[in-house]
Copies of this chain bind each other. A is one copy, B any other.
Amino acid sequence: MPDPGPSPLPPSAIEPNPALARVLRGPSGLGTAALSLARREELPLPPVAPDPEPLEPEPPEQPPAAGGTPIPGLYYHPVPEPDPVRVEEVGRRIKRWAVDEAEVYPPEWEDQFDGFFVGRYMVACHPDAPTVEHVMAAARLMVAENAVDDYYCEDHGGSPVGLGSRLLLAHTALDPLHTTKEYAPDWALSLQSDAPRRAYASAMEYFVQLATPTQADRFRHDMARLHLGYLAEAAWTETEYVPQVWEYLAMRQFNNFRPCPTITDTVGGYELPADVHAQPAMQRVIALAGNASTIVNDLYSYTKELASPGKHLNLPVVLAEREDLSEREAYLKAVEVHNELMHEFEAEAAQLAASCPDPRVLRFLKGVAVWVDGNHYWHMTNTYRYSLPDFW
């Protein structure tokens, strides 16, 4: 694997993906925009209605455009600055939900919550959502997923011991228990008994109002995958095992952003049919997109994780240990792994779009690509959480 060394942004990092753009151009495609650049007015399905809910009467002052430096050599696509009015409104509503309605975080953690910039994140990832409430469905799930990770796995008292029980009981907030009349009430009460379960239960209740049953089933499956991923990572933490690189990549395909991009159609107000979603080619595209997005997290959170107590597994750390590389070499190799996953995602998406030009398929593929780009944008601009290592 060549060492890319200190390098300026490659030209490809600021250009749309030509293969995908070529496939999607033309009368039956998504228009002339690159797949990775979301433009709401070009999306053919369904007609995007104006938000029926009134926003704040006076739009708040626009925050300055977000800053942040991309990782040198990383293959990514820039996104248009997300709609600041919508960012502000989602930020306002999600804080009200998380602090007051679902009681996920106590009021004294508001600063930390603000530092997560959920509004900017979700609006950047879902520019084609027909209403603010559609974005909110994604935002609540994102906050709930983070709450489970924070409280059960990581920052706020999590532990690998007993995690299998906590995650399964929380999973029943998404995938309900069907039991006898004597025991069902105890279970129902349990869903209100801690912040992660309150968050899952409330976020899911809103989500299923927008989702079809097959979309809800897809989400449950992706969340079961996520929980399996958490549990594999926890097993390694407990046994102090540093996995082989392929083992780490396998775990990370499960402990993965996947549940976020795969709701792009629900949040967009349409449905990718279940039989198309299940096709091996689509499953591969989704997995590659999730894997690239997740390695982005490993790369941007590298210094944050180094600074936190205990050994935190991420791709550079595993590469350094398993392949006897310096920290810098390992980090740069992890960038290459990411770039290969991104290129493979885009190539496979282009091929699928060409072979299956149904407008819902094209819009879904575009939605996943936009999510990947929005996720990178959020990581890059979230200088409250992340800073880059000094490797260039």
Contact = CB atoms under 8 A, between A and B. Distances in A.
Interface of A: 1, 161-169, 171-172, 175, 177-184, 186-187, 190, 212-214, 216-217, 220-221, 224-225, 227-229, 231-236, 238-239, 241, 243-247, 249-251, 253-254, 274-275, 277-280, 283-284, 287-288, 291, 337, 340-341, 344
Contacts of A178: 253, 284, 287-288, 291, 344
Contacts of A277: 217
Nearest to A285: B178
Given A239-B161, A274-B275, A279-B213, A250 B284 contact: no
A367 B373 CA distance: 45
23 contacts: A1-B182, A161-B235, A165-B243, A169-B250, A171-B254, A175-B225, A177-B250, A178-B284, A178-B288, A178-B291, A179-B249, A179-B250, A179-B253, A180-B249, A180-B340, A187-B250, A190-B247, A212-B275, A213-B279, A217-B274, A220-B221, A224-B224, A274-B275
Interface majority SS (helix, strand, loop, mixed), chain A: helix
Contacts of A291: 178-179
A164 B247 contact: no
Given A166-B235, A178-B284, A214-B278, 15 more contacts: A161-B238, A162-B239, A164-B231, A165-B235, A168-B231, A168-B250, A177-B253, A183-B245, A186-B246, A187-B250, A213-B280, A214-B274, A217-B277, A220-B221, A274-B274
